Structure 1
Amino acid sequence: MFHGSIPTDLRAIIHEHAGTWPGQATDVYVGCSGNFTIERVLAHSGLTLHSCDVQLYSSAIGWYLAGGTLPISLRDESAEELAWLEPYMDGRAGTLAVIMLGSRWLQWVGREQHPYYGRMLRAYRDQFERLHAQTVAKIETLPLRLGSYQAMDVNEWLATQVPEDAPVITFPPFFAGDYEQQFAALDQHFAWPEPTYPTLDDTAKATLIDRVTSRRHFILGLHFDVEELTPYLRGQVQTANRGVPINVYSSVPRSRIVRPAQRLEPVTSPRLAPGRRLGERLRIAPLTMGQFATVRSQYMSHRIRPGTPTMALAVLVDDALVGAFAFSSPKYDPHSVYLLSDFPVAPTSYPRLAKLVLYAALSTEAQFLAQRTMNGRLTHMTTTAFTERPVSMKYRGLLSLRSRKDSTDPAYRYQLDYGSELGRWSLADGFAEWRRRHGQTERLDGPEEDPAQ
């Protein structure tokens, strides 16, 4: 019932290593608790667990699991609009349930003028009594309990609250600001004794690494290599194809490497090859998830972390595969589908083949298949590009730039959000327009560069 999780294989590493610590190590300290997955892994180990974190969501859970009261109240500026929540806030499970449920919908408060957000807010308020009672019942049956919880910076906690001979486990946030962004709406509407803490930047992480690895027993999870810790590297877990690998450093001499097992299925259509001219008929065809994984692994940039689509479609001209795209179901706006992936095959003699894939994705035929698959009326499409450039050359001219901001992924400089109407043309008309605007730049003397990169 908590946000997020640690993969099964990573759970196994934690359980195996903690199980080898000497019997006298009965108290274990878990820093940067987040969603308390590490604590849940060790809930039945007989260990007394002590935790810390700096976010409201985590602190509400931690205080409850440690048997304390939750010193949380509505902020003065939110008291009138959200006064209906106060009867549910009892300082224990009731308050925790409000925080957990609020993490799902509070980001829409103040945006009621948008039809979707307004409907969702009304629905949550109408059903809140039932949802709150169900959540409280689940909370009260949680088997996990903590020996203590501190809302404070992990480095300060290690230096002042954790005995020097105590085992420590921590998987710090991969990127600065992860939890701040995820639970910003909670801080906007609730007052609580917020701890002061520095950003967990490279300097703070170096301090954290030193304070953890100086102990006799430790488990440390990081998304980057630390050369001086190579003798302690006991495992590496990569939970998704081309996902961020997690290095597990531990004082226990037991190793494990876990890589994702991706199901692949053959795609029998011939690929458009260099020197081959395009045919006359643009069409799209459904792909299984295994087939989509096959072509995605071959042609999508390896710097892009793949997600799981709701539907995937091949783009063909006559019988030749020229690319693929995938949609995810609407998340916030029920009429707006998300373009999760789009890419051309390569190499070919057409430098702007990526735009032909977009023409196919914006077609009435793609709109019809998406609506049939997702059982709803879909009128718009959104997508996100991570890039070093302030605009995406692939999307420019076809999609509208909705926002530009600094990337949360350190591999890129910008995060660009794009959108467009769906069903703007038929496949035949879109192909004709692409030929007129982009097809004449074809060259038949060698391979192309990928314009999507």
Structure 2
Amino acid sequence: MFIGSVPKDVMLQMHHIVDFENYNNAWVLCSGSFRVDSSISSTYEKLKVHSNDVNILSVSIGQLAVNETVKFEFINKLAFVEEYLTSRNGCGFIDRVASIAASMQIAKFSSKNEYNQIHQKHIIQNFGIFHQKAKESIQRLLDKLPIASFTPGDFIEQAKKARPETDIVIAFPPTYKGGYERIFKFVSENISWVPPEYAIFDPKTLDRFLLELMDRDISFCVYGDQEMENLKCGGKFLSNTNKPIYLYVNNIERSSFRRKSQTSRQFKYQEFDPATATAKSIVNVTRMDSAQMTFLKNVYLAKRISHVSGMFNYCVFIDGKLAGGIILSLSKYGDIESLYVLSDFSVSRNNRLSKLIAMIATSKDIVSEIERRTLLKFKQLCTTVFTEKPVSMKYRGIWNLYSRKEGFLNYHSPVRNQSPQQIYIEWFNKYNK
């Protein structure tokens, strides 16, 4: 039902680092799924928890938790929800809130392709089932959410209510500028309501926000996915599936470090040196299991990169030596004609070896093998590059830049009607410099 919940392991770190018994009030900013709010309000009965958020779902749940309501109407593509609620006798505000949560399921399939349209139709036809499940989930949350207040609005303004010595600020601000707005774009366009005023937060200013809290002598425990040079963190959570999460606190006498690992299985190999490449070198692509690929990811992928287990894992060997790895999955955007490249990495930065791996990822041999396994037909591959730069030098000239967004680039490539060996010859003649 919720997107972007605070990981449970991070919650454990927070309880280890922060002594909530020392405070009268906890001001939770960007409550989101209310996991933090619920955890501390249920554990510390004397602590008054004050929640906050701006999106329609969290605002509605927050108001419901303090016996208030929000006026909103389902319109446009969600107009059928109003008809559904009208047809039911005895609907209360919790039913309307549950309808928002159920509508978020439709939002997952908002793209205009056959795959998404089929799923949307299924959810709409069975909306009553999705609505009931959402209602039960919300009720379970409310049963363990004894918050003192809820304020819809800018979390920076909410933080100003905290007082020195007696209060603490808890926050997990957005990690991408405009990320909240993208997540709730569908429901925002199809639900009519008066949203609270707030400024879109830029994660680059997180250190400024924390320094302002320190200047006011406000205790805080704030989550972030960036390590800041001018601030010390009291906790760190590492995962092989996401970026590191840092916990910044004003009192770092207690500290916590946790790592959550995927299964990794080491195997012997030799690294390929691109300086030894010749026109007669032999290329082989080998399927790998997820444990073997996790071992390689831990070696070659930067720790700041969010990388996850893929459905299809391959290693590229040149003259029997490892040159790189390719991790693919079905398109995360629901496009059944596209494969999504989660990661492609090389063992060396020299001689543009990374370009070769990115090119081989689009080979008809790899795609055909996946087609046989999935009984699907793929026309293209997609990937995302997280960068502030206007282009990716690795993909430049070999993939097509599809869109440029703030903080990331989207690239597409048609399936190359070439074998890995043929692609290698093209790379050797054109890019191996």
Q: Is 2:340 the partner of 1:360?
A: no
Counterpart secondary structure, 2:167: coil
- Which residue of structure 2 aligns with residue 312 of structure 1? 313
- Which residue of structure 1 aligns with residue 380 of structure 2? 380
Per the TM alignment, residue 99 of structure 1 is displaced from its structure 2 partner at its CA by 1.5
Cα distance in 1 for partners of 2:144, 2:214 equals: 24
Cα distance in 1 for partners of 2:257, 2:139 equals: 37
- Which residue of structure 2 aligns with residue 411 of structure 1? none
Alignment of 1:232-247 (within 5 A): 233-240=233-240, 243-247=243-247
Alignment of 1:25-40 (within 5 A): 25=23, 27-40=25-38
- The answer (yes or no) to whether the contact 1:365–1:426 under 8 Å persists in 2 is yes
Cα distance in 2 for partners of 1:345, 1:196 equals: 49
- Which residue of structure 2 aligns with residue 152 of structure 1? 153
- The answer (yes or no) to whether the contact 1:212–1:220 under 8 Å persists in 2 is no
Per the TM alignment, residue 173 of structure 1 is displaced from its structure 2 partner at its CA by 2.3
- Which residue of structure 2 aligns with residue 70 of structure 1? 70
Per the TM alignment, residue 292 of structure 1 is displaced from its structure 2 partner at its CA by 1.6
- The answer (yes or no) to whether the contact 1:27–1:48 under 8 Å persists in 2 is yes
Per the TM alignment, residue 2 of structure 1 is displaced from its structure 2 partner at its CA by 2.4
Cα distance in 2 for partners of 1:48, 1:92 equals: 25
* Matched residue type, 2:124: R
- Which residue of structure 2 aligns with residue 130 of structure 1? 129
* Matched residue type, 1:344: S
Q: Is 2:108 the partner of 1:118?
A: no
- The answer (yes or no) to whether the contact 2:242–2:308 under 8 Å persists in 1 is no
**Per-residue CA distance 1:406-435 (angstroms, 9 max, x = gap):** 32xxxxxxx32222333x3352xx423541
- Return closer, same or farther for 1:63/1:388 CA change in 2, 3 Å cut-off: closer
Cα distance in 1 for partners of 2:423, 2:226 equals: 46
For structure 1, list consecutive stretches of 5 or more residues without a partner in the other structure. 408-414, 449-453
Higher mean Cα deviation, 220-229 or 357-366? Answer: 220-229
Cα distance in 2 for partners of 1:204, 1:102 equals: 32
Counterpart secondary structure, 2:6: coil
**Per-residue CA distance 1:280-299 (angstroms, 9 max, x = gap):** 54321112223223333444
- The answer (yes or no) to whether the contact 2:17–2:256 under 8 Å persists in 1 is no
- The answer (yes or no) to whether the contact 2:2–2:32 under 8 Å persists in 1 is no
**Per-residue CA distance 1:310-350 (angstroms, 9 max, x = gap):** 221011234222221110223311231101111222266xx
Per the TM alignment, residue 127 of structure 1 is displaced from its structure 2 partner at its CA by 1.6
- Which residue of structure 2 aligns with residue 266 of structure 1? 266
Per the TM alignment, residue 212 of structure 1 is displaced from its structure 2 partner at its CA by 6.8
Higher mean Cα deviation, 1-10 or 125-134? Answer: 1-10
Question: Under a length normalisation based on structure 2, what TM-score does the superposition of the two structures give?
Answer: 0.84
Higher mean Cα deviation, 234-243 or 190-199? Answer: 234-243
Per the TM alignment, residue 208 of structure 1 is displaced from its structure 2 partner at its CA by 5.8
Alignment of 1:13-24 (within 5 A): 13-22=13-22
Cα distance in 1 for partners of 2:229, 2:303 equals: 24
Per the TM alignment, residue 309 of structure 1 is displaced from its structure 2 partner at its CA by 1.6
For structure 2, list consecutive stretches of 5 or more residues without a partner in the other structure. 86-90
* Matched residue type, 2:348: A
- Which residue of structure 1 aligns with residue 88 of structure 2? none
Cα distance in 2 for partners of 1:228, 1:356 equals: 39
- Return closer, same or farther for 1:252/1:347 CA change in 2, 3 Å cut-off: closer
Pick aligned residue for 2:80 from 59, 84, 87:
84
- Measured on the aligned residues, the alpha-carbon RMSD in Å equals 3.2
Q: Is 2:183 the partner of 1:187?
A: no
Counterpart secondary structure, 2:285: strand
Identical-pair percentage: 25
* Matched residue type, 2:317: L
- The answer (yes or no) to whether the contact 2:175–2:224 under 8 Å persists in 1 is yes
* Matched residue type, 1:290: A
**Per-residue CA distance 1:374-427 (angstroms, 9 max, x = gap):** 4544333111223455343433444332222332xxxxxxx32222333x3352
Q: Is 2:410 the partner of 1:417?
A: yes
Alignment of 1:378-417 (within 5 A): 378-387=378-387, 389-407=389-407, 415-417=408-410
- The answer (yes or no) to whether the contact 2:348–2:354 under 8 Å persists in 1 is no
Aligned length: 420
Cα distance in 1 for partners of 2:163, 2:179 equals: 28
- Return closer, same or farther for 1:431/1:253 CA change in 2, 3 Å cut-off: same
Q: Is 2:358 the partner of 1:369?
A: no
- Return closer, same or farther for 1:360/1:275 CA change in 2, 3 Å cut-off: closer
Question: Under a length normalisation based on structure 1, what TM-score does the superposition of the two structures give?
Answer: 0.81
Cα distance in 2 for partners of 1:40, 1:237 equals: 21
Cα distance in 2 for partners of 1:280, 1:378 equals: 29
**Per-residue CA distance 1:230-254 (angstroms, 9 max, x = gap):** 4xx4322333478244133144732
Cα distance in 2 for partners of 1:36, 1:86 equals: 26
- Return closer, same or farther for 1:34/1:433 CA change in 2, 3 Å cut-off: closer
Cα distance in 2 for partners of 1:177, 1:364 equals: 37
Cα distance in 2 for partners of 1:228, 1:401 equals: 36
Cα distance in 1 for partners of 2:241, 2:2 equals: 25
